[in-house]
Amino acid sequence: MFPGGTGPAADPVGSHHERVIRSFQPRRSRVTAAQRAALERLWPRWGVEVDGQRRLDLGDLFGDPALPVVLEIGFGMGEATARMAADDANTGILAVDVHTPGQGNLLRLAEEYGLDNVRVANGDAVILLRTMLAPGSLAGMRIYFPDPWPKKRHHKRRLLQSAFLDVAAPALREGALLHCATDWEPYAEWMLEVLEAHPAFENTVPGGGFAPRPASRPLTRFEGQGLDKGHRVRDLLFRRVTGPTGEAPSA
């Protein structure tokens, strides 16, 4: 915990939830002075601990019950998140990550750009989806450049799995968009296969396959690194429909 009790907790879940295989490792190193100052100043106002102990009221969190909210899972240093928030002030972004420098940087950018439609969550997105978000409370979900865990023995750590979609689907209202992007071709094929096989989602691309990059998704730091290496970036756009996980609720 940061001095004075402000800032994201090192382990917000504690012993409240069972330990499962995680697709991430919390990282607290190399927090700059500006990032630390932003965390200490802004976390009490815009930060959310993913402790699994309460149900979030997104209307209260953003100060507007009518504001559609999109969940972004993993946001790096937050530059792309801040740009999307600035480009669409009529959508709230609940951005969840465990990277402390990125959390501080996103808060700094939100303050610098005068954004009031960004909230930063600290912890495991699976716990957030499973226990803290009401059914049908999300207007969309974004997962950009998740860790591909390229080694076969690590594939079980990949975020995009059928079990993850089972958890994510109930929180998404009917018609909500799930937008994924990756520059790792084997993971792109994996994502496409998993998503097309899941009955709670349908591909927005007629005939199936990958989608063109929407103009609403800015180039991210990771994307630039991938392009520099000659990687091909793939976007996937799937819509929430009804399925065996239950009727897709409308907010």
Check: CB of residue 204 under 8 Å from CB of residue 241.
no
- Alpha carbon dihedral 23, 24, 25, 30, in 10-degree steps, equals 160
Is it the case that residue 108 has pLDDT exceeding 50?
A: yes
Identify the bridge partners of residue 49 per DSSP, sorted by sequence position. Answer: 122
Cα 162 to Cα 11: distance, rounded to the nearest angstrom = 26
The predicted structure's pLDDT at residue 135? 97
Work out the widest C-alpha separation in the chain, in whole angstroms. 55
What's the rounded Cα separation, in Å, for the pair 103 and 136? Answer: 26
Supply the pLDDT for residue 246. 47
pLDDT at site 180: 97
Cα–Cα distance measured from residue 191 to residue 154, given in angstroms and rounded to the nearest whole number: 15
Which residue is listed with tokens 């303050």?
111
Classify the C-alpha dihedral 184-83-102-67 as positive or negative: negative
pLDDT at 248: 53
The pLDDT tens digits of the residues spanning 14-57 come to 545 554 545 455 555 689 999 999 999 999 999 999 999 999 99
The pLDDT of residue 228 is: 87
For residues 204 and 210, give the distance between their C-alpha atoms in angstroms, rounded to a whole number: 9
What's the pLDDT score for residue 182? 92
pLDDT, position 16: 52
What is the pLDDT averaged over residues 147-152? 88
Which residues, 6 or more positions from 230, have their beta carbon under 8 angstroms from its beta carbon? none
Q: Is the pLDDT of residue 130 over 90?
A: yes
CA 212, distance to chain mean position in Å, is: 20
Give 237's strand partners: 179
Q: What is the DSSP letter of 131?
A: I
Residue type, 75: F
Task: Give the pLDDT of residue 21.
Answer: 46
Per-residue pLDDT tens over the stretch 50-90: 999 999 999 999 999 999 999 999 999 999 999 999 999 99
Give catalytic status of residue 51 as yes or no: no
| Residue range 186-209, pLDDT digits in tens | 999 999 999 999 999 999 999 999
pLDDT at 5: 58
Return the minimum-mean-pLDDT range out of 119-128, 144-153, 162-171.
144-153
127 confidence band (pLDDT: 50, 70, 90) = very high
Q: Which residue has the higher pLDDT, 154 or 54?
A: 54
Which CATH class for the 36-240 domain?
A: alpha beta
Catalytic residue among 64, 116, 147, 166: 147
Task: Identify the pLDDT of residue 22.
Answer: 52
φ/ψ region of 107 (left if φ > 0, alpha if ψ in -120 to 50, else beta) reads alpha
